[in-house]
Structure 1
Amino acid sequence: MRGLAAITATVVMLGGAPAQAQDAPPANPAPAATEAVTPPPSVVPPPPPPPGDWRTVAAENLLVIDTTKGRVLVELAPLAAPLHVERIRLLSRAGFYDGVAWHRVIDWFMAQTGDPLGTGEGQSWHPDLVAEFTFRRAADTPFVPVAQPQGALVGFMGSLPVQTQPDAAMALTDDRMVHGWGLYCPGVAGMARDEAVNSANSQFFLMRQAYPALEKRYTVWGAVVSGLDVVRAIKVGDGANGMVTAEPDRMTRVRIASDLPEAERPTVQVMDPASQAFRDLVTRTRAEKGADFSVCDIVLPSNVG
């Protein structure tokens, strides 16, 4: 049984056997967010940031997921989950994910795949992984805070939204490091598992919307930097607990960008959290959201070449 184990009555099991109905998201969710929203004529998008405000995603950390709905590009986060990132690289290089179905998809929640059986019960031939729900952050870890709730910092580590203990706490630890963990914002990539903590293997999910109840319960290993619209367009399940019973969408090919021939290799530039453009983006988003502001409201612009 592979998936989101039922953590509480409000958390959905991501993986194998379907969770009970009471573990599913609300019965009357908000309308699907798959349709493009056209801004009113008076809204003028901000100009693109100048060249120095972008960073290029390393090819060895760029996962290229081609699907029947289009292409999704995920930036891997080895600083947050080195074991899980290495497993994704290993399986992608072996062609393990090619042709595998998106077998469980719940709108306003997530899209799950990685099971060669397509039932939620399958996995790779490799041993299960030790959980990496949190990571250790040092003073030189590339982290940019955007908010400081009481006793914590939230911000970005590359393209990954994270929460961490404050820098001041580093003086109190033997290794001069503090805990951090990925936040389940839209586009964040997590690893499915059974109820056993150390049971993640090959199944993973991409968030269609934010779902903070998963945080520090399921390993975060990356974030979508292009193609969130594709993730939200994947066919939603029509069976119990989001299982897709007929003609699911599929991953047609999954590769690490550095393994592709140069002519086929996409390049992605993402707004650098260390840039002035990012600080301006945070300021605008805070002003728009007011008291409802969340780090999940910040969408990093990207350019794909």
Structure 2
Amino acid sequence: MKHLLLAAAAASLALPVAAQDPAPIPSPGEIAAAAPASDWIAIAPSDLLVMDLAPDAKGQARRVVIQLMPAPFSQGWIGNIRKLAAAHWWDGTSVNRVQDNYVAQWGDATEKKALPKGLMTVPESEYVVGVDMQSIVGPKGVGHRYAPVPAGKLTDSYARFSGFFEGWQVAGQHEPDDPAFTNKGLLPMLRDLPTVVWPVHCYGMVGVGRNPSPDTGSGAELYTVIGHAPRHLDRNIALIGRVITGIEHLSSLPRGTGALGFYEDEKDRVPITSIRIASELPSADQPRYEYLSNQSDSFARYADARANRRDPFFIKPAGGADICNIPVPVRSAAK
């Protein structure tokens, strides 16, 4: 029997390699799903804005959850939004505008509802933030808060640089008058980094409606992108967050027939029952989410797979991706 087992083992080793099935190539979603728990970062309930719309025609609930951007981006507007939510200001307002391949917008359709006291007027300069190079550049290059796309060629017609900041898609460029770039002692590695950075208008991003410049909006009027990324709006309007669940409740709404997609008939507006910061809700009702760290090896593989699709359906890998085509994976977390 011993000789038979050895013979069988030898025969198996002698089989041609070609007879073995190749390892399946994972899709980007499969790479994210297989990421270890240590690669995921929890989103604090205090950074989630929960919007409940009136039930649909079938009586089904419609909840939209928005993640607010981290500092240093758009903090003046986000401070206003926290005050508006605390005051329950949006309760009884509505979704007033749905423009095909563009945005869904909500707020006070009458424009007569008094705003809470203490809202900040934010200057246009806050559409971008300056980069503190000493804080993001360390012995091994880019630090933990800020990272370029880790793999594949990234194409961007709207900025010199694109990358990720704590799980958010951002773009940036060198400002010609930045004193850092007139310094002859500048490290070569810094020439590949921007001096100003801004969030970008990808699908599901949430921004602040405003009137013509110099108005920058208070945060009472908000919109989300429901079509092709309108990157021409970057640095022209404040972005304050992104929809991480429930976008279908806004993107599937009937399109408005008025100018810019506004609803002409009041009956077509979609009522908003409440908007709250998640931490203000009862514990059992607080949504919990986490995002895949852009500093993890899992994210590097995921981004490469988005730029170079090699899974069986694809014939020709693109060899690159737009920043908006590398959405940061977000998933529900256990409570």
Using the size of structure 1 for normalisation, the TM-score is 0.75
Superposition pairs for residues 254-293 of structure 1, below 5 Å?
A: 254-288=275-309, 290=318, 293=321
Equivalent residue, structure 2, for 1:178: 195
Equivalent residue, structure 1, for 2:79: 86
5+ unaligned residues in a row in structure 1: which ranges? 1-42
* Partner secondary structure for residue 249 of structure 2: helix
1:224-265 C-alpha deviation (Å, 9 max, x unpaired): 222233331233212222011332223221111122221211
Correspondent of 2:98 among 81, 98, 105: 105
In 2, distance between residues paired with 1:65 and 1:170? 44
Q: Which has the higher helix share?
A: 2
Q: Is 2:155–2:320's contact at 8 Å kept on the other side of the alignment?
A: no
Find out whether 1:58 has 2:44 as its counterpart: yes
* Partner secondary structure for residue 73 of structure 1: strand
In 2, distance between residues paired with 1:292 and 1:244? 39
Letter in 2 for 1:264: D
Equivalent residue, structure 1, for 2:239: 220
Correspondent of 1:251 among 263, 267, 272: 272
Q: CA deviation at 1:138?
A: 2.4
In 1, distance between residues paired with 2:179 and 2:231? 25
Superposition pairs for residues 13-92 of structure 1, below 5 Å?
A: 46=30, 48=33, 49-68=35-54, 70-77=62-69, 78-92=71-85
Q: 1:166 to 1:149 in 2, by over 3 A?
A: farther
1:102-124 C-alpha deviation (Å, 9 max, x unpaired): 1111121111112x2x1567672
Q: Is 1:235–1:249's contact at 8 Å kept on the other side of the alignment?
A: no
Q: Paired residues, what number? A: 260
1:70-116 C-alpha deviation (Å, 9 max, x unpaired): 222211113211101101111011101122111111121111112x2
Identity level (%): 24
* Partner secondary structure for residue 60 of structure 1: helix
Letter in 2 for 1:207: V
Letter in 2 for 1:54: W
Larger radius of gyration between Structure 1 and Structure 2: 2
Superposition pairs for residues 159-170 of structure 1, below 5 Å?
A: 159-165=167-173
Find out whether 1:189 has 2:189 as its counterpart: no
Correspondent of 2:130 among 131, 136, 149: 136
Find out whether 1:295 has 2:323 as its counterpart: yes
- Please tell me the root mean square deviation across aligned C-alpha atoms, in Å: 3.0
Q: 1:291 to 1:82 in 2, by over 3 A?
A: same
* Partner secondary structure for residue 83 of structure 2: helix
5+ unaligned residues in a row in structure 2: which ranges? 1-25, 57-61, 137-144, 184-189, 310-316
1:125-171 C-alpha deviation (Å, 9 max, x unpaired): 5554333211122243512211486983212223431102369x783
Q: Is 1:123–1:203's contact at 8 Å kept on the other side of the alignment?
A: no
Q: 1:94 to 1:86 in 2, by over 3 A?
A: same
In 2, distance between residues paired with 1:255 and 1:286? 37
Q: Is 2:216–2:237's contact at 8 Å kept on the other side of the alignment?
A: no
Letter in 2 for 1:66: D
Q: 1:279 to 1:291 in 2, by over 3 A?
A: closer
* Partner secondary structure for residue 293 of structure 1: strand
* Partner secondary structure for residue 308 of structure 2: helix
Letter in 1 for 2:85: S
Superposition pairs for residues 144-155 of structure 1, below 5 Å?
A: 144-146=147-149, 147=154, 152-155=160-163
Equivalent residue, structure 1, for 2:222: 204
Find out whether 1:124 has 2:115 as its counterpart: yes
1:3-39 C-alpha deviation (Å, 9 max, x unpaired): xxxxxxxxxxxxxxxxxxxxxxxxxxxxxxxxxxxxx
In 2, distance between residues paired with 1:304 and 1:232? 21
Q: CA deviation at 1:292?
A: 6.4
Q: Is 2:155–2:323's contact at 8 Å kept on the other side of the alignment?
A: no
In 1, distance between residues paired with 2:238 and 2:122? 10
Q: Is 1:60–1:256's contact at 8 Å kept on the other side of the alignment?
A: yes
Letter in 1 for 2:242: A
Equivalent residue, structure 2, for 1:23: none
Please say which of residues 206-215 and 129-138 is displaced more in the overlay.
Answer: 129-138
Q: CA deviation at 1:183?
A: 0.7
Q: Is 2:308–2:319's contact at 8 Å kept on the other side of the alignment?
A: no
